[in-house]
Amino acid sequence: MAHWQRAGERALQRSANVEAVSHVTRGLDVLQALPETRERAQQELVLQLTLGPALGSTRGPMAPEVERVYIRACELGRHVGDTTQRFPALWGLWYCYHAGGQYQRARALGEELLGLAGQLHDPLLSLEAHRALGNTLSFHGELALAYTHAQHGLALYDPQQMRAHALRYGQDSGVACRLFGALCLWMLGYPEQARQWNEAALTQAQGLSHAYTLAQTLLFSTILHQWRREASIAQERADALLSYALSMDSRCTCCGAQSYGAPY
């Protein structure tokens, strides 16, 4: 079972999400034959937290099966009393609701994440919580408050420590804070500051080895330059995004099936 977990993690690191789902699902199948102990629950929790991002990439974050994975992970986190593992389970559930437009539920989870990160005194988890809550608040139209969360998140950002977090939480969160912060700045009436934040995010993303972070940055950059009526730059960024997305296909090493994209 540990072998399926490691294989799933390696596949996730390569953005081979179909392969990751296959490996982790096999591990969960093996787990069903074991007696229900605390150790078994802990092992299942780790597997479910690996399955969530991969399944979200292949089925979409709003898919019912993705929500079920994170609901189960939350239950397991409470059962084993592992607060550090409960955080990514809650975060995954937040994303399901945020992506699905259930902003009241997403906001409540964002606030819970911020409180939990404070209890753990973990600056990187606080960054993830600020990213989550700020993102949802921007969709609520609470732009100034959302921008404040983006600033708080960036103050906690350490790019050297974010590699593992980007795999679990789908994107480099420092870049993510800059992206939604830039859109907030535009809508608050600060177009030049918005451009500066967006360009800083792009520079940052280009220096990372994380596919989805760069793809998402190119998308947000395209949107912002559309808003700024800079058609040529918007076209350039859109073309770069399309070219990059087409280059990111990978094949499963065990079955040859194609997998596209990176954790959401």
Going by C-alpha positions, the residue among 119, 188, 185 that lies closest to residue 154 is 185
User: In this structure, how many other beta carbons lie within 10 angstroms of the beta carbon of residue 256?
Assistant: 7
Q: What is the pLDDT of residues 17-44, one digit of tens each?
A: 788 888 888 878 888 888 888 888 888 8
User: In this structure, how many other beta carbons lie within 10 angstroms of the beta carbon of residue 41?
Assistant: 16
- pLDDT(231) > 80: yes
* Residue 69 contacts residue 93 (beta carbons within 8 Å): no
Q: What is the pLDDT of residues 148-199, one digit of tens each?
A: 999 999 999 988 776 667 667 778 899 999 999 999 999 999 999 999 999 9
User: In this structure, how many other beta carbons lie within 10 angstroms of the beta carbon of residue 36?
Assistant: 10
Q: What is the pLDDT of residues 52-109, one digit of tens each?
A: 888 887 888 888 999 999 999 999 988 888 788 889 999 999 999 999 999 999 999 9
- pLDDT(50) > 50: yes
Distance, in Å, from the CA atom of 264 to the CA atom of 107, rounded to the nearest integer, reads 19
Q: Tokens 């409180």 appear where?
A: 115
User: In this structure, how many other beta carbons lie within 10 angstroms of the beta carbon of residue 38?
Assistant: 11
* Residue 14 contacts residue 44 (beta carbons within 8 Å): no
For residues 199-210, average pLDDT: 91
The runs of H, that is alpha helices, within 100-230 are 103-120, 123-140, 143-155, 163-169, 173-188, 191-206, 211-227
> Both tokens of residue 239?
């073309």
Distance, in Å, from the CA atom of 174 to the CA atom of 164, rounded to the nearest integer, reads 13
Q: Which residues contact 119 (CB under 8 A, 6 or more apart)?
A: 83
Distance, in Å, from the CA atom of 227 to the CA atom of 229, rounded to the nearest integer, reads 5
pTM strictly above 0.85 = no
Residue 10's pLDDT is 80
CA R_g for the chain = 18
For residues 233-243, average pLDDT: 96
Residue 255's pLDDT is 35
Distance, in Å, from the CA atom of 114 to the CA atom of 3, rounded to the nearest integer, reads 34
Q: At 54, which amino acid appears?
A: A
Higher-pLDDT residue of 140, 166: 140
Instruction: For residue 256, name the pLDDT band (cuts at 50, 70, 90).
Output: very low
List, as one string, the DSSP characters of 31-52.
Answer: HTTS---HHHHHHHHHHHHHHH
Distance, in Å, from the CA atom of 205 to the CA atom of 203, rounded to the nearest integer, reads 6
